[in-house]
Amino acid sequence: MTRQVSAPQDAAQGRRRATIGSAFDPRSNSVNALRLGLAVAVIVSHSFPLGGYGEDPGFGGSDLGDWAVGGFFVTSGYLITASRLRSHSLRDYLWRRFLRIYPAFLVSLLVVGFVIAPLASLLLGAGPWTAAGGARFVLGNLALYIREFGIDGMLGTVPYLGAWNGSLWTLFYEFVSYLVIGVLISVVPRRRVAPLVVVGFAGLTLVAGVLATDRVPFPAALNQTVTLVAFFLAGAIVHLFRDRIPLTLPLALLALVLFALVVGSGLYRVLAGLPLAYLMLALGARLPLRRLGATHDVSYGMYIYAFPVQQLLALALAGAGVPVWGYVLLAIVLTLPLAWASWLLIERPAMRLKRLTARAPVDVEGHVLR
């Protein structure tokens, strides 16, 4: 009789004790599906200015694209922190991170500079293309820090002038975040990593608050670094305390409300990191979308190719009166083959090279974007 009564009680207690750590399976989760959704959200956001439909949808001084980029960074913070903790060395960790981002990034530069741009010049009247201009576009962006958003003389008639790819700029800050957590875990005793990450996050949040007042003149690059690294560290905090953070519906709803309040107050870049991190990881653990993107992860390709595709559409559809959601749908449909090719031909083969590092462990998050 006692066993029959205690079993349901134990099960109920187990449900009450659910944490992010116990619910989030590194090998089977919905993060890739979420990342695909975030990439689509970026397409939707960019469609308004690129297609000539107005400003990106948003409120409180931030927009849908900002929220999607924040979602990318908090999930990366969680997953990449786990990856670093499992890696034998900083070299092994950085090699894997390089392989995940850089080869596909480099190929995207070459495709835009020497395939898409000249075809747009020839067929869509995008302006004069030269090999020298294409080379400047590629060489000027090789270091991940985007200096050349466009090619001289091109895209002078579209609503969003001059830029062939306005999405790639976030990758530099992503890699900076990789370096921050990678070096920290390499030089600090493991027991001190979590408190130092919390201190670092708090410090960046304080700086972000100062920057938000617009009273201190800081370069835009520093502003972006502070904001995005703070979002990354918010995800890292959730990972480091994953076994102490409860995973419940009321907490998820509270995080959603806090996120909405922070956005509405105009403090998205200052205070949204932690509630967004909790939301993303809770959804990654609970959504029944584990199969979507589990084998073929096209979210990175969607992110790096959508902007040039949208510029092509702006050229091709000029004056056609296509509604914004038609433009969005066309952008998604036309970007998908490029993303698929990037995954099959570049990203997946590149990731196989991670075995070149000595004593490389199994990186259970390696299949997840960035």
Task: Give per-residue pLDDT as tens, 163-220.
Answer: 999 999 999 999 999 999 999 999 999 999 999 999 999 999 999 998 888 777 778 8
Q: Please report, in angstroms and rounded to a whole number, the separation of the first and last CA atoms in the chain.
A: 52
3-state DSSP call for residue 62?
strand
Across 131-141, average pLDDT: 98
pLDDT score of 32: 95
The Cβ of residue 31 has, within 10 Å, a number of other Cβ atoms equal to 29
Reduced DSSP (H G I as helix, E B as strand, rest coil) percent helix, strand, coil of the chain, to 5: 70, 0, 30
Determine the Cα–Cα distance for residues 44 and 39; give it in Å rounded to an integer: 9
Across 354-360, average pLDDT: 66
> Of 21, 131, 150, 130, which is closest to residue 82 (Cα–Cα)?
21
Q: What is the mean pLDDT of the chain?
A: 91
pLDDT score of 140: 97
Q: What are the pLDDT digits (tens) for 73-117? A: 999 999 999 999 999 899 999 999 999 999 999 999 999 999 999
Q: Is residue 10 part of a domain?
A: no
pLDDT score of 159: 97
Residue % of the chain over a pLDDT of 90? 84
Q: What are the pLDDT digits (tens) for 273-322? A: 999 999 999 999 999 999 887 789 999 999 999 999 999 999 999 989 99
Across 120-130, average pLDDT: 97
Q: Is residue 361 part of a domain?
A: no
Q: Is residue 325 part of a domain?
A: yes
3-state DSSP call for residue 162?
coil
Q: Is residue 15 part of a domain?
A: no
pLDDT at 53 over 80: yes
- Token duo for residue 227: 């904001």
Q: How confident is the model at residue 358 (pLDDT cuts 50, 70, 90)?
A: low
Q: Is residue 367 part of a domain?
A: no
Residue % of the chain over a pLDDT of 70? 92
Q: Is residue 86 part of a domain?
A: yes
Number of H helices, E strands in the chain: 16, 2
pLDDT score of 16: 60
Phi, psi of 77 (to 5 degrees): -55, -40
3-state DSSP call for residue 22?
helix
pTM score: 0.91
Q: How confident is the model at residue 6 (pLDDT cuts 50, 70, 90)?
A: very low
* Residue with tokens 């062939």, as numbered in its chain: 164
DSSP 79-140: HHHHHHHH-SSHHHHHHHHHHHHHHHHHHHHHHIIIIIHHHHHHHH------HHHHHHHHHT
pLDDT score of 213: 83
> Of 7, 82, 69, 6, which is closest to residue 38 (Cα–Cα)?
69
> Of 44, 31, 28, which is closest to residue 369 (Cα–Cα)?
31
Amino acid in position 109:
L
Give yes or no for a contact between 350 and 103, defined as CB atoms under 8 angstroms apart.
yes
pLDDT at 38 over 50: yes
Taking only Cα atoms into account, the Rg of the chain, rounded to an integer number of angstroms, comes to 22
Q: How confident is the model at residue 359 (pLDDT cuts 50, 70, 90)?
A: low
Query: The domain containing residue 208 runs over which residues?
Result: 23-356
Q: Is residue 4 part of a domain?
A: no
Determine the Cα–Cα distance for residues 141 and 268; give it in Å rounded to an integer: 29
Determine the Cα–Cα distance for residues 167 and 45; give it in Å rounded to an integer: 11
Q: Is residue 162 part of a domain?
A: yes
The number of distinct structural domains making up the chain is 1
